[in-house]
Amino acid sequence: MSKQTNKEDINKKLEETIDSYWDDKKKDKNPDFDGFREEEIKPAPKEKKPFNIKKLLLIILIIVVAFVAAIVITILAMEHIGKKDLLNSNSANTEITGADGAELENDGKIVVYNGKKYVYNESNISMLFMGVDREEFNEGSTYQEGGQADSLFLMVIDTSTGESKMVPISRYTMVPIDEYHEDGSYWRQNEIQVLLAYTYGDGREKSCENTTTAISRLLYGMPISGYVAIDLSGIGVLNDAIGGVTVEVMEDLTEADSELYLGNTVTLMGQQAETYVRSRKSEGTDLEVDNNAPRVERQVQYLNAFLSQTLSQMKTSPTLPLKLYNLAEDYTITDVSASETLYLMTTMASGGLESEVVTIPSTAKRGEYTEVYVDEDALYEVILDVFYTEVE
Identify the structural domains of the chain with CATH numbers, from first to last: 75-391 (3.40.630.190)
Q: Read off the pLDDT of residues 155-211 as tens digits, 9 standing for 90 and up.
A: 999 999 999 999 999 999 999 999 998 888 889 999 999 999 999 998 999 999 999
* Alpha-helix residue ranges (DSSP H) falling in the chain: 3-29, 53-87, 196-199, 205-218, 232-241, 271-278, 285-289, 293-313, 320-328, 338-350, 376-387
How far is 322 from 341, CA to CA, in rounded Å? Answer: 8
Residues 6+ apart with CB under 8 A from 183: 142, 143
What pairing do the DSSP bridges indicate for beta strands 116-120 and 388-391? antiparallel
Reply yes or no on whether the pLDDT at 392 is more than 90: no
Question: For the residues 362-390, what does the mean pLDDT come to?
Answer: 93
| Percent of the chain with pLDDT strictly greater than 70 | 77
Residues 6+ apart with CB under 8 A from 332: 228, 229, 230, 231, 234
DSSP single-letter state for residue 137: P
8 Å CB contact between 341 and 331: no
How far is 264 from 248, CA to CA, in rounded Å? Answer: 6
Q: Read off the pLDDT of residues 177-190 as tens digits, 9 standing for 90 and up.
A: 999 988 888 899 99
Reply yes or no on whether the pLDDT at 141 is more than 90: no
Reply yes or no on whether the pLDDT at 114 is more than 90: yes
Q: What is the pTM of this model?
A: 0.78
Reply yes or no on whether the pLDDT at 3 is more than 50: no
Q: Read off the pLDDT of residues 252-283 as tens digits, 9 standing for 90 and up.
A: 999 999 999 999 999 999 999 999 999 987 65
| Percent of the chain with pLDDT strictly greater than 90 | 57
8 Å CB contact between 131 and 148: no
Q: Read off the pLDDT of residues 299-327 as tens digits, 9 standing for 90 and up.
A: 999 999 999 999 999 989 988 999 999 99
Name the 3-class secondary structure at 96: coil
Residues 6+ apart with CB under 8 A from 334: 208, 226, 227, 228, 229
* Amino acid in position 259: E
Residue 323 zone, left/alpha/beta (φ > 0; ψ -120 to 50; rest): alpha
